[in-house]
Amino acid sequence: MHIDLRKPEFVMKLDRLGSFHQSKLSFLRSFIREFKDWAFQTSEFELNEKGYGHCVYIVNKEDKKYSLVCFSNELDDSERSDRVIATKWDASFVLFDGIPTKQDIQRLKANVPLQEQGRVTEKELCLSRANKSVRVFEHVVDCLSQGKQPDTKLLYDVGYLYRTTAVYGSGKFGLADRIKIQDRGELKGPFRLEMMLVFLARQFTFDMVNHVAKMRSPKLAVKLNDEIARNLGIGNSTGLGMAPFIVNHPALLNQWILSKEKALQSIRSIPTTSEQEKEKFQNYLSTIQENIKFWKTDSDYQIKKNSQLIEDLENFQKYFSNLKLEKFFWNNTYEWVEKNTQAECCEFIVSLLMEVYPDIVEPLSYEMSINEEDFFDFDSSRSIGDICALIEKRYAWLIDIDFEKKNNIFNFWYYSKNKQEPRMSDRFSEDGAERELPLAIARDINKLYLELKNYAESEPLSSYLLKNQEYRHVLRRIFICEKLPYSEIQDNTISKSLIPVDMLRLKLSFFGATRFDPRSDRWVRITMYQGAPLMKEIHQSDDTWSYKKIA
Amino acid sequence: MHSLYEIETTVKRVARHQGLSWGVAEEAGKVVRALEQSELPGLESFNRLIHLPYNKCQTTIDVSNKNQDILCPIHFGLFFFDQSHKSNLYQAFQFSNIQEPLLAIPLLIKAAQKNLISFNFTSNEFNFFISPGNVILLNKDEIPHQSKNIVLDISNQRQIQYSEKTWEQLYELSLETFVEESDEKKLSGAGAGLTDND
């Protein structure tokens, strides 16, 4: 039996993309798989009794070395903000290419805590900062300093000790350009360095509480229990700045989605399933149903999605428990799920299916990068008729949208002068629409299509370009989408009904984030690496930690 | 020194601010990035171009008119990149002058490679020859028959090709594509509060 890939017009809708879950393909998991045989060590730990100072962690294998330099500074509660406009943080981090000298540390100390206001160099690879969860941090330090372990209920309600508020890479603020590192074998998956930074920053948060507790009460203090630490991740607070990434990197988006779809296709194509494989799936399913109880959110939108997920999973469990092992068992399972559950549950089951087949899924994580430069230029000798046909084939969903209607062009994306980040606003009541970013893909392709229809089909595209270059930016995309059909979100990103948090969720699920907690329709808190091995035990990881039961 | 990413993005934004479409602005960013990566002074060249001022530049290229003046090098290069699949272009054309010809070179290189053609550019001040085989000769008459006392300096450190003043000028202009926010808009933009103590 031949199973097709799921169609882009099914997968690339935002309500489905916004229901994606972490999986074996997620970048933080592929980071651990790739680096588990590297050596991790703490090389400098120079914090005062309050935990202010700097630390250096080194990751190395043979002659390859990376270092995370962490700076911890005093921060008044009134200054603690997750917003990009913040100028101070509890901790700041920089991933260094190699091992920093004393002079490097001094230079970084003067710049890294300033983040966007400082300058780094091409010796540095990634930049980040984090704030404490004050409530949890104080509780943990207090308990440890009294020789007790902290209250795990409080800890797991939050899920982390610190949360990052931004992680920058690829040339930002003077950091090394991607071209410098793109050919390194260990960095072949997307966002490897960012994942390394966050993994080491998580370790720093544990070392920090142990240190401060010990300083507070040298005789009584105990260390945070490894089991408790393992079940803590690092938080992340993400706003709209992340959303345009998936629009601005169509070729890369295609690779991410295509890898997932190829994994699903391969699993659905397995003709016979063993009892052990079914049981393995069932075990993951049972554990994760328990863990979902720790997903806390105040967002009505997410509460509804989580409740629906729990309900759908219960129904699925009834179906699955009675399902006999027949030919194409997983395909039957998937088809039932697609038909009988919402996108949130369906994509959850897809992630779960991948757990059973590491040999199928893990190699696909090496296909998730692409050289985007190869897709920048397009062939202007193609006929206009060809291009129109291409739009009709790949972009049928946008041809009939009426872009004269207010609700269909309600929002515009802009780059905020104050925050140096992309933002979104109401076109009809806010200023700045004349400086709109080129993210209104549906509207612009629709307009291009209508213009091209005025030309003879046999004319080459270059004839149109002689007269009009206005839509050159979307012409590129049409050529990309011809070769890479999962490169476009098939929804109008400027419509009034857009839920931007779906765009964040898509990207964050590929990062490996869990516990989605939208704080509004355009801002979300998540947790990364919850359940992951600690730095000292990374070499033991068997990549099953995502589905371990949270105590 | 600034990363190639910063250079490309800043140039793209400045080009957009000068009235170029987003698609052409993206090309301008790639052109300057490619030149700086090749240690050629693309950013300085681009800075002079936009301070001409840029609106004096001719952006419509008409190969039948040999009196065209102050041609924009980005549009000039893009014209040949887009159009030179047509064999009726394989002949000699004359133009009165072009600003900052260096900026046209990366696009002509791509056009040569894409269509397997060559460009022999001669002018009073500057000559270059581009072939489809990744060979660029800036002045064929100056190629010696023999080289002596050779020093081969190999480096992986990109050297800065522009002044800090040029960067400051361009960066300030790039901010003109951004939107200034009111206090109210700052608060509503991302939906969060100003302090995050939890």
Q: pLDDT tens across B70-125, in order? A: 999 999 999 999 999 998 888 889 998 999 999 999 999 999 999 889 898 888 88
Q: Does B114 touch chain A (CB under 8 A)?
A: yes
Q: Is residue A427 part of a domain?
A: yes
Minimal C-alpha gap between A370 and chain B (Å):
17
What the block records as the tokens of B134 is: 């990744």
Mean pLDDT (whole number) for A109-136: 94
- Residue to test with chain A: of B82, B86, B110, B176, most A Cβ within 10 A: B82
Among left, alpha and beta (phi > 0; psi -120 to 50; other), residue A130 is beta
Residue ending a domain, among A189, A218, A238, is A238
Percent pLDDT > 90 in chain A is 83
Quick one: pLDDT at residue A335? 98
List chain B residues with CB under 8 Å of A85: 186
Mean pLDDT (whole number) for A421-435: 92
Q: pLDDT tens across A474-524, in order? A: 999 999 999 999 999 999 999 999 999 899 999 999 999 988 888 777 778
Quick one: pLDDT at residue B83? 94
Q: Identify the band that residue A45 occupies on the pLDDT scale cut at 50, 70 and 90.
A: very high
Q: Is residue A211 part of a domain?
A: yes
Q: Cβ contact (<8 Å) for B85 and A381?
A: yes
> Does residue A243 contact residue A178 with C-beta atoms inside 8 Å?
no
Confirm whether the ipTM is greater than 0.85.
yes
Strands B128-130 and B119-121, bridge-based pairing: antiparallel
Whether A422 has a pLDDT exceeding 60, the answer reads yes
B139: amino acid identity, one letter: N
Q: Is residue A317 part of a domain?
A: no
Quick one: pLDDT at residue A301? 81
Whether B187 has a pLDDT exceeding 90, the answer reads no
Q: pLDDT tens across A285-339, in order? A: 998 887 777 777 777 888 888 889 999 999 999 999 999 999 999 999 999 999 9
Whether B191 has a pLDDT exceeding 50, the answer reads no
Query: Which residue among A158, A423, A475 sits closest to B189, beta carbon to beta carbon?
Result: A423
Q: pLDDT tens across B12-62, in order? A: 999 999 999 999 999 999 999 999 999 899 999 999 999 999 999 999 999
Residue A388: which domain range? 372-483
Q: Identify the band that residue A550 occupies on the pLDDT scale cut at 50, 70 and 90.
A: low
Q: Is residue A284 part of a domain?
A: no
Residues 6+ apart with CB under 8 A from B11: B28, B29, B31, B32, B33, B43, B46, B170, B174
What rounded mean pLDDT belongs to chain A? 94
Q: pLDDT tens across B129-143, in order? A: 888 887 777 776 776
What the block records as the tokens of A460 is: 């080459």
Quick one: pLDDT at residue A199? 98
Residue B31: is it exposed, middle or buried by C-beta count within 10 angstroms (0-12/13-18/19+)?
buried
In sequence order, the β-bridge partners of residue A141 are none
Q: Cβ contact (<8 Å) for A179 and B3?
A: no
A71 vs B188: which has the higher pLDDT: A71
Quick one: pLDDT at residue B193? 45
Q: Is residue A113 part of a domain?
A: yes
Name the residue of chain B whose CA is nearest to A465's CA: B82
Whether A361 has a pLDDT exceeding 90, the answer reads yes
What sign does the dihedral A291-A297-A303-A305 (CA atoms) show? negative
Minimal C-alpha gap between B6 and chain A (Å):
6
Residue ending a domain, among A483, A505, A521, is A483
Q: pLDDT tens across A60-73, in order? A: 999 999 999 999 99
Euclidean distance between CA atoms B75 and B59, whole angstroms: 6
* Residue matched to tokens 């000292």: A536
Q: Identify the band that residue A536 occupies on the pLDDT scale cut at 50, 70 and 90.
A: very high
Alpha carbon separation from A330 to A30, A40, A202, A358, B116 (Å, rounded): 24, 39, 36, 15, 51
Quick one: pLDDT at residue A302? 81
Quick one: pLDDT at residue A247? 96
Q: How many structural domains is chain A composed of?
A: 2
Quick one: pLDDT at residue B58? 93
Query: Which residue among A174, A432, A523 sits closest to B191, beta carbon to beta carbon?
Result: A523
Quick one: pLDDT at residue A454? 96
Q: Cβ contact (<8 Å) for A414 and B186?
A: no
Q: pLDDT tens across A225-254, in order? A: 999 999 999 998 888 888 899 999 999 999
Residue ending a domain, among A206, A238, A270, is A238
Q: Is residue A345 part of a domain?
A: no
Q: Is residue A276 part of a domain?
A: no
Q: pLDDT tens across A153-187, in order? A: 999 888 999 999 889 999 999 999 999 999 999 99
What the block records as the tokens of B14 is: 């400045």
